[in-house]
C-alpha cells in the first residue's frame, strides 16, 4: 500500500546531481529514438498521464523529458474545467477522444483523475459517485490497454507542502512566470490534507499502477520520468517495419 507521508519528495541523498543530469540527457535522447520506432511500427500507442498539486512541475516534465521526440508523433492535452457541452455528457466523454492511436504518444497534463480529485475534495460529488468513477476509470484504462495495445504510464508528481509555497511564490516574483499565477492556487493549498488523502486513495485503487515521482528537485523528477518511460518502451520490443512489396 502506498503511503505518501512515508515517501520522500527529495532525491536519494547519495545521488550526484551532475552525474544524474548526464544520465537524464542520454535517456531523453534514447526516448526520442524509441518514439521514432513507435511512430514507424504503428503497433502500440502510449498514454502518459501527469497528475500532481499546483507547482509540482507537470509542464516542466513534459518540456524536458520529451524534447527529443518528433512533434509528428506527440500530442499534449491539458484538461481544464469542463465546458457546458462536456458537462452534458459522462465525465469520460471528453477524455476518450484524446487518447492516442497506434504510433502516437499522447500526454495528459492533468487528466480524467481530476473528476475524482478536485470534485471529491470540494464535495461536489458524493462517495458513491467517487467509487463508481474510480471503477469506470479502471475499466477505461484497461480497455485502452487490452483493446488497442495502449501502454498507459501514470506519474504522480510528489511535491512537499513547503516546496509548493516556494513554487507558487515564484510565479509572483518571476516576471516570466507571472502568466502561471492564479490566486485560486493559494486557496486550494488550504485543502492540502484532503488532497493528499484523495490522491493516496486513487493511487492505491488504480489497477494500472502509478509511478510516484519525488519532485522537490526537478533534475531528479526528469530522471525518474525519463527512466520509467525508456524502460517501458524498451519492453515493447519495437522494430522498424520492413518493406512488404519489392
pLDDT tens digit string along 156-202? 999 999 999 999 988 988 888 898 888 888 888 999 999 999 999 99
In a domain, 9, yes or no: no
pLDDT value of position 182: 83
> What is the rounded CA–CA span in Å between residue 153 and residue 223?
15
**Domain enclosing residue 147, as ranges:** 18-164+192-234
Per-residue model confidence (pLDDT) at position 173: 87
Q: Is 151 helix (H, G, I), strand (E, B) or coil?
A: strand
Residue 102 lies in a domain: yes
Domain assignment of residue 225, yes or no: yes
Q: Give the residues of the chain that fall short of pLDDT 70.
A: 246
Task: Give a yes or no: residue 40 inside a domain.
Answer: yes
Is 103 part of a structural domain of the chain?
A: yes
Query: Residue 175: its pLDDT value, please?
Result: 86
What's the gap between Cα 64 and its chain centre? 13
Distances (CA, A) of 89 to 56, 92, 183: 30, 8, 29
SS3 assignment, position 212: strand
* Domain total of the chain: 1
Residue 246: the pLDDT is: 63
Domain presence at residue 32: yes
**From CA 140, how far away is CA 153, in angstroms rounded?**
14
Residue 75 lies in a domain: yes
Q: What are phi and psi of 8, to 5 degrees?
A: -65, 145
Does residue 174 lie in a domain region? no
CATH number at residue 223: 3.40.50.300
The separation between CA 112 and the C-alpha centre of its own chain, rounded to angstroms, equals 11
Q: Quote the cell numbers at residue 45.
A: 500507442
pTM, rounded to two decimals: 0.95
Amino acid at each position: 500500500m502506498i503511503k505518501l507521508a512515508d515517501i520522500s519528495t527529495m532525491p536519494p541523498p547519495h545521488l550526484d546531481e551532475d552525474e544524474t543530469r548526464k544520465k537524464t540527457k542520454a535517456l531523453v535522447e534514447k526516448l526520442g529514438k524509441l518514439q521514432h520506432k513507435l511512430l514507424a511500427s504503428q503497433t502500440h500507442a502510449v498514454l502518459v498521464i501527469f497528475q500532481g498539486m499546483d507547482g509540482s512541475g507537470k509542464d516542466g516534465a513534459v518540456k524536458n523529458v520529451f524534447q527529443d521526440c518528433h512533434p509528428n508523433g506527440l500530442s499534449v492535452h491539458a484538461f481544464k474545467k469542463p465546458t457546458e457541452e462536456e458537462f452534458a455528457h459522462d465525465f469520460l466523454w471528453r477524455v476518450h477522444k484524446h487518447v492516442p492511436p497506434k504510433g502516437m504518444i499522447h500526454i495528459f497534463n492533468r487528466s480524467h483523475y481530476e473528476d475524482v480529485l478536485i470534485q471529491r475534495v470540494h464535495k461536489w460529488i458524493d462517495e458513491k459517485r467517487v467509487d463508481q468513477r474510480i471503477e469506470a476509470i479502471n475499466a477505461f484504462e484497461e480497455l485502452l490497454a487490452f483493446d488497442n495495445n495502449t501502454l498507459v504510464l501514470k506519474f504522480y508528481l510528489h511535491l512537499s507542502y513547503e516546496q509548493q509555497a516556494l513554487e507558487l511564490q515564484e510565479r509572483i516574483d518571476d516576471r516570466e512566470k507571472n502568466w502561471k499565477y492564479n490566486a485560486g492556487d493559494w486557496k486550494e493549498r488550504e485543502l492540502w490534507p484532503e488532497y493528499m488523502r484523495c490522491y493516496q486513495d486513487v493511487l492505491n485503487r488504480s489497477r494500472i499502477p502509478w509511478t510516484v515521482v519525488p519532485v522537490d528537485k526537478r533534475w531528479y523528477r526528469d530522471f525518474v520520468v525519463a527512466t520509467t518511460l525508456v524502460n517501458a518502451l524498451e519492453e515493447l520490443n519495437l522494430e522498424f517495419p520492413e518493406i512488404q512489396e519489392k
